[in-house]
Amino acid sequence: MLITGYARLPSTITAYKLYEVVGVAVEVRPSDGEILDVDCSLATSVARRIVREIALGYRLSDGIEELVEKIERRYCGSARKAVVMAFRAIHEKYVAYRQGRAL
């Protein structure tokens, strides 16, 4: 299944000039929340690759804090807070899906 999350970017970075928000899209295995694929709207290919490497294989069913810690350790770009917020939104949507609530 596809889940997306969005968060406002800092106005001082290049990606803000292009998008204003960061969008993160993940393909998730519904049964256990494993992230199978990741894409995001960060401005550089290096940033997109790092976010992908951090998130691939993570299981949303394990909660979000470990993923947030990994992002905070490995992604020191100006968009870090927005990336974290986008993943928090994705996690909330996954939890709602698992609980049978509307997304």
Domain ranges, residue 39: 2-98
Whether 31 maps to a domain, the answer reads yes
Cβ–Cβ < 8 Å for 58, 71: no
Residue 103 located in a structural domain = no
pTM of the model: 0.90
CA 35 to CA 50: how far, in whole Å? Answer: 15
Q: What is the residue type of 28? A: V
Q: For residue 102, how many other CB atoms are within 10 A of its CB?
A: 5
Which amino acid type is present at position 53?
Answer: E
The structural domain count of the chain equals 1
pLDDT, tens digit (0-9, with 9 covering 90-100), for 73-85: 999 988 999 999 9
The CATH number given to whatever domain includes residue 80 is: 3.90.1010.10
* 8: three-class secondary structure by DSSP: strand
* Cβ atoms of 23 and 85 closer than 8 Å: no
| pLDDT, tens digit, 9 for 90 and up, residues 35-93 | 999 999 987 999 999 999 999 999 999 999 999 999 999 999 889 999 999 999 999 99
32 belongs to a structural domain:
yes
* Dist CA 103 CA 88 (whole Å): 14
d(CA 50, CA 29): 21
